[in-house]
Amino acid sequence: MNDTRPIRAKSGTNHEGTSAHNRRVMIDALRVNGALSRADLARATRLTKQTVSNIIDELESDGLVTSQQTVRNGRGQPSTPYALVPEGAFAIGLQIDRHMTRAIAVDLVGNVLVRLEAKLPSGGPTTGIRVILDLIAAVRRRLAAIATQSEQRLVGLGAAMPGPFGLAGNGDDPWMMEAWQKFPLLETLAVGTGLDVSIQNDAAAATIAERMVGAAHGLDHAVCLYIGYGIGAGLILGGELYTGANGNAGEIGMALLAVGGKSTPLEHRASLASLYQYLSLDPADPILYAKIHDLVSTGDRRIVEWVETAASDLRWSVHLIETVFDPQTVILCGSAPRILVDRLIAAMGPLLPSLAERPDRTVPRLQVGMADPWSVALGAAAGPISLEFDPRYAAILKD
C-alpha cells in the first residue's frame, strides 16, 4: 500500500475492555478509506500492530472483512490490503410518509439490493400498518433470493417518518402525522418482523444516507438541510448523528420568521408542502414530481416566484446553521426533484457572510446532496448499520 496516502480514521484505544470500540473504529476506517493494510490501520487508528492483527483476524472470521491481492511497494515488504465484505451484514429501511411508504434493503457498504413502495390507504395506522408489514416481508423475500445468508446477517430495521416527535397536537394539523406519532410503531414493527427496530425523523435519515454514500461521506462535521414535505436539518457532529434530548434536534422548519408582522414557520414558506399549496397541487398525485419537473424546466412564473422566496429563507437558514454549529459544509438535500434543488442552490447565492468564510476551506460552504424520494428509506436502512458498526462513545462502555 502507498505509505503517503492520507487515511481518515478515528483513534482506537489499547486499554483493556474496549474491543467493541476498536472493532467499530477498524470497520469505519475501511468504510471511509476503502482497502487498507494492517500497517495502514495501525498508523491511522493508533492501535498496536498486534491489536490490529487480532481484530482483523476476528473480523475476517466473522465474514466482515476479506484480504485482497498482496501489494509490493518497491524494495519494501509486501503488504496485504483488507476490505469490507458487502455481504457481511444487511439492513432494511422503512419510510412512512403521508401518502406513500417505501422499503429498501442495503448491504454493509450501502449498496441498494431491493427497493419496493406501496401507497398508504386512508385511515392512518389502523389500515396502513398491514400494508407496511407486507411491504417489509416482500423486501425480505427478495433479499433472501439474492443473498442466501441475508436473514442470518440482518442487523435490524430502521424506520423514518416526519417529526417532530412527542409534541401535543390538535389532531388536525396538516403538517403533522399525529395518528402515526401516537401509534406504537416501534413495538408493532418489532413484533411483526422479529427484528430490532429503531426510528428517526426523515431529515436525520437523509443525513445518514449522505454520510454513508453521499456528500457527507468522510466528514465529521456536516449539516444536511432536508427539503421534503416539511424542512429539517440532520446534524453530524463529531462524526456522529446528534438527535437531541427527545429526537427532535434539527427541526429547523419550525423556526419562526417575522413575515408581514406575524411569526411564520420556515417550512410554511420553503418546503415542498408550501410549493404544493402555492401551485394548488395534490400531494397524493402519482405524477406530482413529473409535473414539478416540467414546471421548473419551462420556467413557469409561479415556480420562479416561489424559488425566489424560498431561497431567501433558506439562505438565512444556512447562515444560522453555520453560526450555531460551525460545520465543514452544509448539504442541501431532500425528496424534491433534482432540477428544483439545483434551482434553489443557484438562487441561494451569494450566501450571507458568516464565520464559515475561511481561507483554508477544502469543501464548499453549501453543496447539493441527494435529491431523491428514496433517500429517506436509504438512510433509514443505513441507520441499523450505523448502530451496529460505527464508532460511538457508548460502545466503549460495552464488553
Q: For residues 82 and 85, give the distance between their C-alpha atoms in angstroms, rounded to a whole number.
A: 9
Q: For residues 176 and 197, give the distance between their C-alpha atoms in angstroms, rounded to a whole number.
A: 22
> What local confidence, expressed as pLDDT, does residue 260 receive?
81
Q: For residues 234 and 150, give the distance between their C-alpha atoms in angstroms, rounded to a whole number.
A: 29
Supply the DSSP string of 29-85, one letter for each residue: HHHHH-SEEHHHHHHHHT--HHHHHHHHHHHHHTTSEEE---B--TTSPPB-EEEE-
> What local confidence, expressed as pLDDT, does residue 175 receive?
58
Per-10-residue mean pLDDT, the chain, length 399: 62 62 91 92 92 95 94 75 97 94 96 96 91 98 95 97 76 68 93 96 94 92 95 93 90 89 92 95 90 95 96 96 97 94 96 94 95 94 93 61
Q: For residues 63 and 86, give the distance between their C-alpha atoms in angstroms, rounded to a whole number.
A: 10
Do the Cβ atoms of 282 and 266 come closer than 8 Å?
A: no
Do the Cβ atoms of 65 and 30 come closer than 8 Å?
A: yes
Q: For residues 254 and 267, give the distance between their C-alpha atoms in angstroms, rounded to a whole number.
A: 7
Give residue for cell 398525485.
285
Which residue, 78, 87, 83, 54, is CA-closest to 68? 83
> What local confidence, expressed as pLDDT, does residue 398 receive?
47
Q: Which residues are CB-neighbours of 361 under 8 A, at least 6 positions away? A: none
Give residue for cell 466503549.
396
Give residue for cell 473504529.
25
**Cell numbers representing residue 192 in the block:** 411483526
Give residue for cell 438562487.
347
CA dist list (Å): 130 to 134, 136, 392: 6, 10, 35
Q: For residues 104 and 322, give the distance between their C-alpha atoms in angstroms, rounded to a whole number.
A: 32
Q: Rg (Cα) of the chain, in Å, rounded? A: 22
CA dist list (Å): 177 to 96, 114, 241, 251, 335: 10, 27, 23, 15, 17
All structural domains of the chain: 19-84 (1.10.10.10), 89-206+378-389 (3.30.420.40), 219-371 (3.30.420.40)
Give residue for cell 493494510.
37
3-state SS class at 339 = helix
Reading across the β-sheet that carries 81-84, which strands appear in turn?
Answer: 36-37, 81-84, 65-67
> What local confidence, expressed as pLDDT, does residue 79 receive?
86
Strands 329-334 and 222-227: parallel
Do the Cβ atoms of 94 and 202 come closer than 8 Å?
A: no
pTM: 0.89
> What local confidence, expressed as pLDDT, does residue 399 receive?
42
